[in-house]
Amino acid sequence: MSRFLVPFVVALMMSALSMNVLADVYKFVDRSGHVFYTDKPKHSGYKIILRSPPAFSYVKSSAGRSSINGNPAWQSRPQLSASRSQKKEELAPIINAAAYKYDLDPALLHAVIRAESGYNPEAVSNKGAAGLMQLMPATASRYGVRDRFDPQENVEGGARYLSDLLDMFPSNLKLAVAAYNSGENRVKRSGYQVPPIAETQNYVERVLGYYNRW
């Protein structure tokens, strides 16, 4: 069994990569924190986390940026889709593929992206973080991301970093998310606890809230 995904979810994603087809996938978290996935929910407690999208393919534009079905997967800020849900649907193929590649729950990647950029691939923070997963220049360089505004490159680098953090802080999603925000060294210096920084504490609460409500 993978870090988050049950075998049938992996199988569905393998089918998606080879056949461009996905079944709808639902997630349920019981009171003990156990996570269950199915494509046939048995009660209303299950929430959809992966909706079957249209077939897609990646191509490169003349500028080298990714496209989906021949349409740019990035756009300048004024041209972005009107709603977050639309942007989420447009970017889902990239996010789902990265989640499968790095053994992550797609819902977790969506939660981080929603908290970091609100699905805006052109977002830039006042600290210099950029793109969907708000990669700093050093992090982008560390994971081979040449263009932080390219959705596919950005999500690839961010997913790989998040996967490394989950390996660094095994079985502790809260610390991995805290490290994504404030850096792994700060979490270690805080005695392997969420650092006593209001921004980081609020960030962890927000990401896990999005994730648990997915």
Q: Is residue 1 situated within a structural domain?
A: no
Does 89 fall in a domain?
A: yes
Confidence of residue 24 (pLDDT cuts 50, 70, 90): confident
pLDDT at 8: 45
Average pLDDT over residues 148-162: 97
Distance CA 201, CA 49 (A): 25
pTM for the whole thing? 0.66
Segment 93-147, tens digit of pLDDT: 999 999 999 999 999 999 999 999 999 999 999 999 999 999 999 999 999 999 9
Whether 48 is covered by a domain: the verdict is yes
The three-state secondary structure class of 39 is coil
Q: Does 208 score more than 70 pLDDT?
A: yes
SS3 percent helix, strand, coil of the chain, rounded to 5, is 45, 10, 40
Which of 90, 116, 153, 156 is labelled catalytic?
116
Q: Is the pLDDT of residue 1 over 50?
A: no
Cα–Cα dist 138/212, whole Å: 30
Q: d(Cα 74, Cα 87) in Å, to the nearest integer?
A: 10
Q: Which domain holds residue 51?
A: 7-212
* Average pLDDT of the residues of the chain: 79
Integer Cα distance of 205 and 208 in angstroms: 5
* Domain membership flag for residue 180: yes
Question: Residue 15 has which token pair?
Answer: 């089918």
Q: How much of the chain exceeds pLDDT 90, in percent? A: 57
CATH of residue 82: 1.10.530.10
Residue 2 domain-assigned (yes or no): no
Q: Is 116 a catalytic residue?
A: yes
Range scoring the smallest mean pLDDT among 45-49, 115-119, 208-212: 45-49
Number of domains in the chain: 1
Q: Is 207 a domain residue?
A: yes
The set of residues, in sequence order, having a beta carbon less than 8 Å from that of 181 and lying 6+ positions away, is 199, 200, 203, 204
What DSSP designation does 115 have?
A: H
* Segments in 20-136 forming alpha helices (H): 84-101, 106-117
Q: Above 90 in pLDDT, residue 26?
A: no
Please, are residues 151 and 135 in contact by the beta-carbon 8 Å criterion?
Answer: no
Residue pair 62/37 in contact (Cβ under 8 Å)? The answer is no
Sign of the Cα pseudo-torsion (36, 39, 42, 43, in order):
positive
